[in-house]
Structure 1
Amino acid sequence: MNKPKYRIITIANQKGGVGKTTTAINLATALAAIGERVLIIDLDPQGNASTGLGIDRKDRKLSTYDLLVGNNTVAEVAMPTVVPNLSIAASTMDLLGVEMEIGHENDRVFKMKKALQHSDANVYDYILIDCPPSFNLLTMNALAAAQSVLVPLQCEFFALEGLSQLLETVDQVRRTVNPALDIQGIVLTMFDSRNNLAQQVVSDVRQHLGSKVYQTLIPRNVRVSEAPSYGKPAILYDLKCAGSQAYLQLASEVIQRERQSRAA
């Protein structure tokens, strides 16, 4: 089998409310805006990435559930979005039952990896997987399929505690199912420059993890928060707002790291 040219990046954090889905949507949009062909895999049963890209629930005839149980291919499940070059494999509530459906199978953690090895995934340059805010079979499938994991981290008091748990999870996945999994980077989200605690969290995370932390800080931004209710990424909703500009900078950093990773 030829080595696929696309890169699979899983966006994960076991803690909710850290800007994970917002990061998935806007990073994907920023990559698509510079001509990369991007697919988002929405693996969260809540389906926020799908809703945030304007995919109505009644239009989700096929979903990531169908990918995981092997009913359909990437080409059959992927749907176009309002963003040129950006498609999504949408989520439905069927994902809540997927653990019972495939949990007894020996290859249960490799279902997504197998689905993405199908030749029709080769039309993409980047595949971003948005995970639920927990460590379950869905997240395990996402980490087993990915080449790297991107971790959104909120600039708040308990951030480092949650991060250490996630890094332990990544180590566990490396030891058991995906030795090649790398940490693409840690992106600090919901940053408020007026908040001394936020400044301290940034300093602590950079001290502990050094170059693994992106230089880009994603600020708290009203326009970014409003965008999903309009079914649009912030970059389409308000390109000039501080949040959109930050995600464009993040995309540049991600591409640079991916190039370095491929060259290594």
Structure 2
Amino acid sequence: MSSEQGSTTLPSAVDAGFGPTGRPVTEFPEPRILESHGPARVIAMVNQKGGVGKTTSTINLGAALAEAGRRVLLVDFDPQGALSAGLGTNPHELDVTVYNVLMDRKVSIQDAIQHTAIENIDLLPANIDLSAAEVQLVNEVAREQVLDRALRKVSDDYDVILIDCQPSLGLLTVNALTAAHGVIIPLICEFFALRAVALLVETIEKVQDRLNPRLQIDGVLATMYDARTLHSREVIARLVEAFGDKVFETVIKRTIKFADATVAAEPITSYAANHSGADAYRSLARELISRGGAP
């Protein structure tokens, strides 16, 4: 994949006035103050490839939206429980999780939701029990809509609900897509990550056709970007070629601070409030709101 192939112009790391996507740098406006809250817009963070920054982006985008005065519910929909752990919860010590909400009609979603140390953010946690739901839901009536039914009961309490999906396109992910209004696709800036996107888009289109006609792709988020490498810039160029304006102008650069914040069980917006990584997620929140992807 060389720079001579195709006619796409690769943005240089030093192109004045242009961002990594090759578009002029935009200063997104500060979000308006909400006079009331709810109903929530539900956004699924989806990519069947692991290690692309889904959980990191869910936590930090959620924190940036909360800073902007939005009430946010983060839904851990991955049996690994990384989102729950990243917010300071020990998934293995939980008695009530999203699994119980899905599988036991006697358990209300309010019983499982936890308040976090971060203002305006609540958590619907998960642990390894959730892996059993994939098998158990197969025999359920309207099995693709179980999460949707649960989230509707708390939709009026929040402005945004972000669902951190597991790295697969199985029944849990289909549940998340059925419950969602929009999809954000985090994508690491590596060539092999591009290959999986076509299958993901095909799955999204099937859910749109058969289960959830309101579903739309809010945007593709480039993560772990390194402006020093031609490879990262080529991947961004191919993304823009394939998705056009659906690629967020905001790009998340590679930095060890994200790992440090995860160890501290904090979003980067509080762990390193003045770091460029925190500023990037604040910019993403403003961009999402300006696009109509969040209230």
Calculate the TM-score normalised by the size of structure 2. Answer: 0.84
Contact 2:87 2:116 in 1 (8 A): yes
Which residue is equivalent to 1:102? 137
1:115 partner letter: A
CA drift of 1:59 comes to: 4.7
In the alignment, the residues of structure 1 paired with residue 107 and residue 158 of structure 2 have an alpha-carbon distance, to the nearest angstrom, of: 17
CA drift of 1:184 comes to: 0.7
Q: Specify which of 144, 147, 151 is matched with residue 112 of structure 1.
A: 147
Report the structure, 1 or 2, having the larger strand content.
Answer: 1
Matched, 1:123 2:152: no
CA drift of 1:172 comes to: 1.2
Matched, 1:176 2:207: no
CA drift of 1:257 comes to: 1.6
Q: Aligned pair in 2 of structure 1 residues 41, 208: CA closer, same or farther (>3 Å)?
A: same
Misfit runs of 4+, over 6 Å? none
Equivalent residues in 2 for 1:158-169 (5 A)?
A: 158-169=192-203
In the alignment, the residues of structure 1 paired with residue 198 and residue 260 of structure 2 have an alpha-carbon distance, to the nearest angstrom, of: 31
Structure of greater Rg:
2
> What whole-Å deviation, never above 9, does each CA across 1:29-74 have from its counterpart, x for those lacking one?
0001111000011000000000001112355221110221134223
Equivalent residues in 2 for 1:1-264 (5 A)?
A: 5-57=39-91, 59-69=93-103, 70-118=105-153, 120-258=154-292
- Give the stretch that moved more between structures: 161-170 or 192-201: 161-170
1:24 partner letter: T
Q: Tell me the SS of whatever aligns to 1:245.
A: helix
> What whole-Å deviation, never above 9, does each CA across 1:191-241 have from its counterpart, x for those lacking one?
000011000111111122111000001000111121111111111111122
Report the structure, 1 or 2, having the larger helix content.
Answer: 1
Contact 2:39 2:157 in 1 (8 A): no
2:63 partner letter: T
Contact 1:75 1:121 in 2 (8 A): no
Q: Aligned pair in 2 of structure 1 residues 45, 10: CA closer, same or farther (>3 Å)?
A: same
> What whole-Å deviation, never above 9, does each CA across 1:98-143 have from its counterpart, x for those lacking one?
123221012111000111121x331101000000000111101100
- Give the stretch that moved more between structures: 126-135 or 158-167: 158-167
Aligned residues: 257
Q: Tell me the SS of whatever aligns to 2:63.
A: helix
